[in-house]
Amino acid sequence: MKILVCISHVPDTTSKINFTDDNTKFDTNGVQFVINPNDEFGLTRAMWFKEKQGATVDVINVGGAETEPTLRKALAIGADSAIRVNTEAKDGFQVAKELANVVKDGGYDLVIAGRESIDYNGGMVPGMLAQMIKANFVNNCIGLEIEGDKATATREIDGGKETLSTALPLVIGGQKGLVEESDLKIPNMRGIMQARKKPLNVMEPANAASATEAVKFEKPAPKGEVKLIDPDNLDELINLLHNEAKVI
């Protein structure tokens, strides 16, 4: 079985976010980048298929050379090889088109993408990719088993879970639950050293056009002043909640 895991290069959630050029561009100075968490759950599940079923695992990213440390981390976790499509990721449609251009000739049985990235939270790429390559698709995937050319997938739905049976090739949008956080792999020294020797292939883009444009970024409003109320003064608390906060 041949698996491709899509890796997004995203800011760590602890990073301080700023913008430049009159709030039209994201300022990357001082920002620590990591593997998108939803993608990391998918990569860990792919490692399970590699260890238990002998699958081969490639990882792919659409981005510039600055994303290569993130791909190297995925290789250190255990992926066999990496692909970087040498173009800036501008929107979900463009990224899906670039991925589809690679997948269509790659002979992949399973493509694992995160349900969404934690920077833009678009949630579009896996579904559009599946349509472009005419593969089956399961989103919000929290469980996946494969036997032969058949897959059994579990996904979250409103109020519960749904289990589906489908044929390969398959694209999934994975999330927490596909594996547990305790299952995530931390690269060890051996893995880091091996990652340096594993292939990281740079592909020229298909020059897919983006469908959207970021006009301006805006930070959330700062938190308001916090008022502390003595725990014994319930009347004052109720008065403030009713007359000032207007939540009761």
Give the distance, in angstroms, between the CA of residue 60 and the centroid of all CA atoms in the same chain: 12
Count of domains observed in the chain: 1
Whether 51 is covered by a domain: the verdict is yes
CATH number for the domain that contains residue 27:
3.40.50.620
Q: Distance of CA 244 to CAs 108, 145, 231, 233, 247, Å?
A: 58, 53, 18, 16, 8
Q: Distance of CA 226 to CAs 72, 233, 240, 245, 246, Å?
A: 44, 16, 12, 12, 15
At residue 153, the 3 state secondary structure works out as strand
Whether 36 is covered by a domain: the verdict is yes
Whether 71 is covered by a domain: the verdict is yes
Whether 238 is covered by a domain: the verdict is no
CB within 8 A of 184, min separation 6: which ones? 40, 41, 44
pLDDT digits (tens, 9 = 90+) for 122-181: 999 999 999 999 999 999 999 999 999 999 999 999 999 999 999 999 999 999 999 999
Q: What is the pLDDT of residue 213?
A: 85
Whether 239 is covered by a domain: the verdict is no
Beta bridge partners of 137: 171
Whether 226 is covered by a domain: the verdict is no
Q: What is the pLDDT of residue 248?
A: 87
Whether 173 is covered by a domain: the verdict is yes
Total-model pTM: 0.88
Domain residue limits at 31: 2-220
Q: Where are the alpha helices (DSSP H) in 84-230?
A: 92-103, 125-133, 189-195
pLDDT digits (tens, 9 = 90+) for 68-90: 999 999 999 999 999 999 999 99
Q: Distance of CA 12 to CAs 31, 70, 170, 233, 241, Å?
A: 7, 12, 29, 41, 35
Tokens of 21: 């050029």
Strands 9-11 and 160-167, sheet pairing:
unpaired
Whether 247 is covered by a domain: the verdict is no
Q: How far apart are CA 59 and CA 82, in angstroms?
A: 5
